[in-house]
Structure 1
């Protein structure tokens, strides 16, 4: 599930924080699957990492505006 930056900009800071938490949990789960050799699609790791970077970037932008 790739999120667009425009979708993220419409969310509040608390919603972005929750999104970041869920993405970190998903990344942890994917890393565990990779370690136990259960992960079939390695590109999911990069997608989740990029989504985390997007959320962090939007949070930083919103913090700079205030």
Structure 2
């Protein structure tokens, strides 16, 4: 998976963004479950997924705030 920049995230539509947010939350849940059962091999994926989720949520919140203030 290539590293996404903020520009890439901002170019996503609202529906694509919400789908990605939902998928990342599910992935983080699965990663936590695998870690608890000692089946997780790629521990670096936690940081990547959390960072990507934070970027998506930040842009999503910016959009919602700009829509309400306009």
Same topology, TM > 0.5 = yes
Structure 2 alignment gaps of length 5 or more: none
Q: Which has the larger radius of gyration?
A: 2
Q: Which residue of 2 aligns with 1:34?
A: 35
Instruction: Give how far 1:63 is off.
Output: 1.3
Q: Which residue of 2 aligns with 1:52?
A: 53
Q: Which residue of 2 aligns with 1:13?
A: 14
Query: Normalising to structure 2: TM-score of the pair?
Result: 0.84
Give the distance between the partners of 2:34 and 2:62, measured in 1 at CA.
33
Aligned to 2:26, what secondary structure does the other structure show? helix
Give the distance between the partners of 1:45 and 1:8, measured in 2 at CA.
19
Q: How many residues align?
A: 66
Instruction: Give how far 1:65 is off.
Output: 2.0
* Segments ≥4 residues shifted beyond 2 Å: none
Structure 1 alignment gaps of length 5 or more: none
Instruction: Give how far 1:49 is off.
Output: 0.7
Give the distance between the partners of 1:50 and 1:29, measured in 2 at CA.
16
Task: Give the aligned CA root-mean-square deviation in angstroms.
Answer: 1.1
